[in-house]
A and B are shown apart, each in its own frame.
Chain A
Amino acid sequence: MPGVDGFMYPNEIELQWSVLIVLYPFLTGLVAGAFILASLERVFQVEAVKPTYRLALLTALSFLLVAPLPLQLHLGHPERSYEMYLTPHRTSAMAMFGFVYLWYLMAVLVLEIWLDYRRQIVLLSQSSTGWKRAIYSVMTLGSTNISERALAIDEKAGWLITVIGIPSAFLLHGYVGFIFGSIKANPWWSTPLMPVVFIFSAMVSGIALVMLLYMLITWARRQVIDMKCVDTVARYLFYIFVIDFSLEMLDLIHRIYEADESFRSLDFMVHSKLYLSHIVVQIALGTIAPIALLGLTQVAKLSDIARKRIYAAAGCLTLMGIFAMRWNVVIGGQLFSKSFLGYTTYKMGLVAREGLLMAILLTILPFAILWVLVKVLPPWPEASSGSIPDAEPAR
């Protein structure tokens, strides 16, 4: 049979989880990572990253809005999906996703953004006209109280929400890792390290994305990039990346040492079908290269322009590497036979409900949403907003 090497059970030949299921953990990872970067400023008082705070929140929101779409497209009956809210199935992790998602969206992100922007929303509702005024007025919920005390209360509430938000962000993405890690029939997935690795890789990708977006948007607005901010973000990216890499290596060493009955089969897969995406793209280009680049900026004294370029390169490589990691987990886990005697091939459709074009569309969509959000809620300091009317953010 074409695409099949060795022996596959009939139900293993075709992959059930497509590129969209690769995209889903990638997108939620970006959400969790961006949020954790924002909380650095809020809870851990890292003042230097402040310029990215609001941008990170808006990025998290726009990606979170898109995150469930790949799942909806994957479902045979998407119109029934809301039923998991009506009759919650408490013993199924997948069925509980709806609640984790809703909690994170409504109780954490929207709330935190609203509190943080409230002053500006109130001001905008008074200064703007027409339909814009109507939108902002609805967003004020009819309260124009921006007295100092009211804002102080907002500040406290926002802090509290961030504190709740950090474990929630961990929950959101740890949950995605949990879904894979708890599938005990699949040795490529089944490891309790999975949620932890997912969380750290999520932080890595989210931070890299916000760093890139910040540099890109600032450049597009013809403003000066705050190097202290980018340096700090890059430093955190470096630290967390090192932790993430160690965890992944720990997992790898554990597998090699344990060498259970699945090992030879998986080892062969990594050296054949997954060689390019796993060894080359994920580990060499997507992990070791950016860590080395970021490490270089930590030890060597480089000019601003050199650092900027290195950060941009490292950020892009990181995103590619984390995407490859999701790919290798999701697709790699379905390429080998449970008999450990054969391998199949993933055939991705082009124009299909779960095909490549759809995946590209879903990757671009969050940037479009972010573009709208940035228009409605400008993330830069209030003084400069409005002065550059047609800033061209993200793509």
Chain B
Amino acid sequence: MNVFKDAGHLFRLAAVFVAGLLIFLVIRGFLVPKSFGQLGHYRANAVAEIAARPIKFAGHESCEGCHADVLDKKKNGKHAGVNCEACHGPQAQHADDPTAVKPDKLDTAVLCARCHEANAAKPRNFPQVDTAEHSRGLPCDTCHHPHSPVIVAGGAK
């Protein structure tokens, strides 16, 4: 009996730990999403939740409807295979309501380098330049037309 009395503080300590554990379990009950673990170590609802989010990219076809001029230019150039939104960014909102939402102006010095900066790890036949040396600080679109980048005699085409 005496042992229990003299170890009383240890029981109190144990009680604190148990209380801590219980509080943790209660909090956990609230915080862990309900669908967690149904299919694996993740929220089973994750796909549905993501699908429910607003769409950000409109897709190439949707731009074509209104920007036929750009398309005409682009489809014969070297950037034919590059999606509009790969450069202009997600524009679903703009495509829905072009007057209210306008795409941001692009800074070609940053944009073009993202794909064309010379790097030994890129496939050898991909066109790449050492941008600093190649453009000498000028924006790329002073010489190249972004939608049809190859420069031919007689000006940008």
In the complex, per-residue mask of A345-383: 1 if CB is within 8 Å of any chain B CB, else 0: 000000000000000000000000000000000000000
- In the complex, what residues of A have CB within 8 A of residue B32's CB? 86-87
A-contacting 9-mer, from B10-18, B54-62, B82-90:
B10-18
In the complex, per-residue mask of B30-44: 1 if CB is within 8 Å of any chain A CB, else 0: 011000110001000
Closest to A151 in B: B6
Say what secondary structure dominates the interface of chain B: helix
In the complex, per-residue mask of A108-145: 1 if CB is within 8 Å of any chain B CB, else 0: 00010010001000000000000000000000111101
Closest to B119 in A: A10
Within 8 A of A (CB), among B129-154: none
Closest to B122 in A: A10
Known: A9-B121, A87-B36, A87-B41. A141 touches B6 (CB 8 A): no
A145 to B13, CA, bound (A): 13
- In the complex, what residues of A have CB within 8 A of residue B7's CB? 150, 153
| A243 sits at the interface (CB 8 A) | no
A253 to B150, CA, bound (A): 57
- In the complex, what residues of B have CB within 8 A of residue A10's CB? 119, 121
- In the complex, what residues of B have CB within 8 A of residue A7's CB? 120
Say what secondary structure dominates the interface of chain A: helix
| A309 sits at the interface (CB 8 A) | no
The answer to whether A145 and B9 have CB atoms under 8 Å apart is yes
| A303 sits at the interface (CB 8 A) | no
Known: A9-B121, A10-B121. A149 touches B6 (CB 8 A): yes
12 A-B pairs besides A141-B16, A150-B9, A153-B10 with CB distance below 8 A are A85-B28, A86-B31, A87-B36, A111-B13, A114-B13, A140-B9, A143-B9, A145-B6, A147-B6, A150-B7, A150-B8, A153-B6
In the assembled complex, 9 residue pairs joining A and B whose CB atoms fall closer than 8 Å, in A order, are A85-B28, A86-B32, A87-B37, A87-B41, A141-B12, A141-B13, A141-B16, A145-B6, A150-B9
Instruction: State the B residues within 8 Å of A (CB).
Output: 2-3, 5-10, 12-13, 16-17, 24, 28, 31-32, 36-37, 41, 119-121
